[in-house]
Amino acid sequence: MALPMMKRKTYIIFRNFCRNYGVSVDRMVRVRFAPSPTGMMHLGGLRTALFNYLFAKSNNGKFLLRIEDTDMTRKVDGATEKIEDVLNWAGLVPDESPRQGGEFGPYLQSRRIQLYQDSVEKLLNSGHCYHCFCTEKRLALLKKEAIRRQETPKYDNKCRDLTQQQVQDKLDKKVPYVTRFKYEAITEPWTDLVYGEIMDSSTEEAREGDFVVIKSDGFPTYHFANVVDDHHMQISHVLRGMEWSVSTPKHLQMYSAFGWQPPQYAHLPLILNRDGTKLSKRQGDIHVESFKNQGIEPDALLNYLTTVNRGFSGPTDGKTLQELVQMFSLDLVNRHSSRLQPEKLGPLNRKHLQRHFNGNRRQEILNRTRKAVKDHFGDRLVSVHVLEDHYIEPLFQWAIEHRISSIQDLTDPLYEFIWITPTLKHLHHITRKTKNSVSVIEQTIHKLKGMTNFVDAEVKSILKCQCKELGMKTIQYMGIVRASLSEQTDGPPVSEMLEILGKQESLRRLEHALAALRTAS
């Protein structure tokens, strides 16, 4: 362990010297997001990807996606593709990846098996690794014994002591084996860019024995492939969740055994549920895909992730990814795990949607709204004209200022009146008690037709006057107008509904209601 620590110290002195003299010797910043394709990506994974991306881009570096798919038992079909889809959706487009390719590929570990096999040969030859022929049965027994003695189960390193001849005999007899790494205690601390100096705190008794680097199926374990790839892909910094920090001593030992310079580590504090428990599906879905399906904008979701753990030189509310790049610094990431605050997501999403709508993405928002409405209401729509830009545009403007947080919200039952023609069942029901309902609607149509400025406040005062003239109670009068416009008994105030629907559509609905009442009477 002393060797890489020395090397690192020397490197830092050298780096500072060169910085002082304006010579650039720092390794180019290359970071990777290295998920295992074991299911859908969740918020914790997206946060790790985001911080890697921000760190790379704020240092003029590269952001890689590497899929760690060597555990065949946990691999989920299609997960690899979905991970890259999610990153692209979020705008965290990797510079190198399985899809993009790159000069350090392949970026799927399952396609790099030869490299791991060649690498382990080096450690076998240098005596850092050995073949272990212990059977599953023996290992299970060891574990059982340890549990009985209330000790941490660990491998007893039995095969470390096999002679070369014994090993050869077993290989000749084709006895199945794994390859293990000789694991020694790390006695010096290492520097984590977030947590500072860290000591391997596990005691000798608690530390597991020599760990497996190549399994009996010839595939590497996570630890081995991770180190070999980080080296060969020239990864300069490893930013990963805090839960991986227990693996760091193993990784550093392997770097030392290979004689390679390790990357700098920065472990990121945990994100917790609102109640302080481990992030899990228990408190609402945490899969990125489900946020996407709820109509959360990618930049809003990224922004939401910046509300935990910090890392930014100012408030991040409503900031774009580019702005976050400017504001990000690893030095500002705090060391405490922090809790998600789901109530922040809606307002953030509204902020980002407003920005897109008022910026240069208005047409895209209109198209997405059209699609969401069409998919949701299908042939229940009033008519195709509600899908036209001139109808959707003012409506969206109103909704995003006052009411909704996402495009999907517009399909909420509260806003059905916008899209669906009322069947007038409710109107017939309430007008049974009002003798003059035909003339109520006739006169309302007449008044509204004469209006030039069809906005909430003006409509409201016209309706008020009309109600007074008719000598009706407000609740009764407004009830009739509302029931002519929509099936809903509650929702936004009637004057607001009229403004949202617009003069043309409002009059169309009132005429329709009038005709229906005339036929019925």
Q: Which residues neighbour 366 within 8 Å (Cβ) at sequence distance 6 or greater?
A: 389, 392, 393, 396
Contact between 97 and ligand GLU by CB under 6 A: the answer reads: no
d(CA 475, CA 323) in angstroms, rounded, equals 50
Q: Which residues neighbour 31 within 8 Å (Cβ) at sequence distance 6 or greater?
A: 52, 55, 56, 61, 62, 63, 64, 235, 236, 237, 238, 239
In 3D space, the residue among 87, 98, 83, 82 whose CA is nearest the CA of residue 50 turns out to be 87
CB 35, min distance to ligand GLU, A: 5
Which residue of 52, 59, 80, 226 would you call a contact of ligand GLU, by CB under 6 A?
226
d(CA 49, CA 79) in angstroms, rounded, equals 16
- In degrees, rounded to 5, the angle at the alpha carbon of residue 380 between the alpha carbons of residues 375 and 381 is 75
In 3D space, the residue among 253, 171, 245, 258 whose CA is nearest the CA of residue 211 turns out to be 253
CB 333, min distance to ligand GLU, A: 16
CB 223, min distance to ligand GLU, A: 9
Contact between 267 and ligand GLU by CB under 6 A: the answer reads: no
In the bound state, the residue with its beta carbon closest to ligand GLU is: 240
262 SS3 class: coil
The catalytically annotated residue of 9, 281, 449, 468 is 281
CB 277, min distance to ligand GLU, A: 20
CB 49, min distance to ligand GLU, A: 10
Instruction: Indicate the Cα dihedral angle 190, 196, 201, 202, nearest 10°.
Output: -70
Looking only at residues 347 through 366 of this chain, which bind ligand GLU when binding is defined by CB under 6 A? Answer: none
CB 454, min distance to ligand GLU, A: 56
Q: Which x/- pattern over 44-83 shows residues binding ligand GLU (rule: CB under 6 A)? A: ------------------------x---------------
| Relative orientation angle of helices 222-232 and 113-125, to the nearest 10 degrees | 100
Contact between 244 and ligand GLU by CB under 6 A: the answer reads: yes
Name 67's bridge partners: 108
Question: Which residue lies nearer to ligand GLU by CB, 244 or 454?
Answer: 244
Question: Which residue lies nearer to ligand GLU by CB, 226 or 411?
Answer: 226
Reply yes or no on whether 281 is catalytic: yes
Pairing of strands 190-192, 196-198: antiparallel
d(CA 303, CA 348) in angstroms, rounded, equals 7
Looking only at residues 9 through 38 of this chain, which bind ligand GLU when binding is defined by CB under 6 A? Answer: 34-36
Which residues are designated catalytic?
A: 281
Residues that bind ligand GLU (CB under 6 A): 34-36, 68, 222, 226, 240, 244
